[in-house]
Amino acid sequence: MKENSKEKIMVVEEWLQRAENDYKAALLLGSDEDSGVFDQACFHCQQAVEKLLKGLILYYGERLKRIHALKPLCESLEGLGVSIDGTLLEEDIKMLDGFYTGCRYPSDVAPRYEEALEAIKIVEKVKRFVEHEAGLERIKFDKSWWESV
């Protein structure tokens, strides 16, 4: 792994903080069965995973592409030697990417409570992966905001 400059670590930290904010929003919106805003919870789940992956890509020295789809981000990580197989499954990617556009615009199908809970669990899996298995706990920056799940 390359040595990371203070500036680069600050950028990675910002991506992870934004992912954490999306995760918290998803929890607030999707954890209450009576809330009725599961579309927004699911959208924030997709955003959290996207930002976690982008933070990891930046950490390993790759430049970001202006994309929102999770599959190409996973492929970028694979190209860097970081495998997320078993953490972010193909069906997880398909579901979350469906929320990116499907939850932003009116459609016939709105996510249900159960889907919001499932999406939140996916974020938590990816978050644990980024924090522990990929080694980001070794980053030397203030992580007091990073709430472990």
**61 vs 34: CA distance, rounded Å:** 43
| Average pLDDT estimate for 69-89 | 92
**17 vs 118: CA distance, rounded Å:** 22
Where in the chain are the domains? 6-138
| Average pLDDT estimate for 79-102 | 90
The two three-digit tokens of residue 125, written as one number: 């899996």
Question: Can you give the pLDDT at residue 122?
Answer: 97
Mean residue pLDDT of the chain comes to 85
The two three-digit tokens of residue 110, written as one number: 């709105």
Dihedral sign for Cα 105, 42, 21, 77, please.
Answer: negative
> Domain spanning 6-138 has what CATH number?
1.20.120.330
- pLDDT score of 137 more than 90: no
Q: Give residue-wise pLDDT tens across range 96-136.
A: 998 887 666 677 668 889 999 999 999 999 999 998 766 67
Question: Can you give the pLDDT at residue 50?
Answer: 97
Q: Residues 88, 70: contact at Cβ < 8 Å?
A: yes
